[in-house]
Amino acid sequence: MLNMLSDREADALAAVRDALPEPYQTLRLPTTTNEWHLDWAYLVAVVVPDPDRDYRPIIEPDDDELVTIGRYLDHRRNELFANPDRIRDQRPLDVDTTVNTIVLAKRKDGGWCFKRASHRSGMWPYFNDPDRPPMDLDALLDLIEGDGSTGERWQAHKGTHPLVGADVR
C-alpha cells in the first residue's frame, strides 16, 4: 500500500521538483551533489557536479542519457508499485521510504557508476580502479537489474520503451 504524504511533505517535495532544471524536472529525475546524503528516499537520483567538490570526477549527463535514466525510473516505478500511475499522479517526484535509492553518476571519462543509498562503500565501479574500464549507462543499468526475472522485465521494458531520443510519457 502506498503511504500518503502529508501536505507539508508534498509541498516540500514539490519545491524540490520545481527547483530542478529541465529536462530533470520533466523526467522527474531528482539530482544530488552528494551521493552520501539524500533528503528523500527517491527511486532513482542523479549525481551532478558541485563546484565546491570539484575533486570528484563527475560530469553532467547529456539529454539522451537523462531520457535513458527516465525510462529506467519508469521501469522501477512499474516494478515497485501495483499502480505506478498513482505514484505519478499523487507525488511530485518518485519517493517511497521502503525503497533503496539507486544513485547514478557520470564520470569524466564518460563511464557510469552507481551506488544504492544503503551502500557503505562509494560509487561502483570505483573512479580510481584501473582494472575496470568505463561502463556505459545501458550496461550499468543492465548490471543493476541483473539476470533474474527483474532483469528480464527490464529487457522487455527497454524493448517496448525506446531509451534514447524519445519523449517520456
CA-based nearest residue to 110, from 52, 50, 163, 57: 57
Predicted local confidence at residue 16, as pLDDT: 95
Query: Domain for residue 79, yes or no?
Result: yes
Q: Could you tell me which residue, 154 or 141, shows the higher pLDDT?
A: 141
Query: Domain for residue 169, yes or no?
Result: no
Predicted local confidence at residue 157, as pLDDT: 82
- Contact by Cβ (8 Å): 22, 70: no
What is the domain range of residue 96? Answer: 7-160
Range with lowest mean pLDDT among 113-117, 120-124, 154-158: 120-124
- Contact by Cβ (8 Å): 19, 31: no
Predicted confidence (pLDDT) per residue in 26-60, tens digit:
999 999 998 888 889 999 999 998 888 766 778 99
Predicted confidence (pLDDT) per residue in 142-160, tens digit:
989 887 677 788 888 887 8
Q: Could you tell me which residue, 156 or 15, shows the higher pLDDT?
A: 15
Query: Domain for residue 167, yes or no?
Result: no
Burial class (CB in 10 A: 0-12, 13-18, 19+), 154: buried
- Contact by Cβ (8 Å): 9, 91: no
DSSP assignments along 44-101, one per residue:
EEEE---GGGTTS-EEPPPHHHHHHHHHHHHHHHHHH-SSHHHHHHH-SS-B-TT---
Query: Domain for residue 165, yes or no?
Result: no
Query: Domain for residue 36, yes or no?
Result: yes
Query: Domain for residue 1, yes or no?
Result: no
Q: Is the pLDDT of residue 2 over 80?
A: no
Number of independent structural domains in the chain:
1
Q: Is the pLDDT of residue 120 over 70?
A: yes
Q: What HEC string does 123-149 produce?
A: CECCCCCCCCCCCCHHHHHHHHHCCCH
Of the pLDDT bands very low, low, confident and very high (cuts 50, 70, 90), residue 68 is very high
- Contact by Cβ (8 Å): 94, 12: no
In degrees and rounded to multiples of 5, residue 160 shows phi and psi of -100, -10
Q: Is the pLDDT of residue 167 over 60?
A: no
What's the gap between Cα 40 and its chain centre? 12
Predicted local confidence at residue 54, as pLDDT: 66
